[in-house]
Amino acid sequence: MLATLTALGWTFMLLSIGGVCTLTFWCFKKVLFPPHDEPNLPPGLGP
């Protein structure tokens, strides 16, 4: 791990950061801009 950033290092870094940013963005979008007519889902397991 003492070398400069390798292609595999780039891959792990971009996937990790990209994944976390995407999830965070998606969550905040759902929280801040909920669909107007979205009813509360009934209790129970998902489909």
If you ran DSSP here, which 8-state letter would residue 3 be given?
S
First to last CA, the chain: 44
**Position 37 contacts another protein (CB under 8 A):** no
**H or E segment at 5?**
none
CB of 14 to another protein, least distance (A): 9
Q: How many residues bind another protein (CB under 8 A)?
A: 35
If you ran DSSP here, which 8-state letter would residue 27 be given?
H
**Position 8 contacts another protein (CB under 8 A):** yes
**Three-state SS at 11:** helix
**Position 4 contacts another protein (CB under 8 A):** yes
Note the residues at the interface with another protein (CB under 8 A): 1-6, 8-13, 15-17, 19-21, 23-24, 27-28, 30-32, 34, 38, 40-47
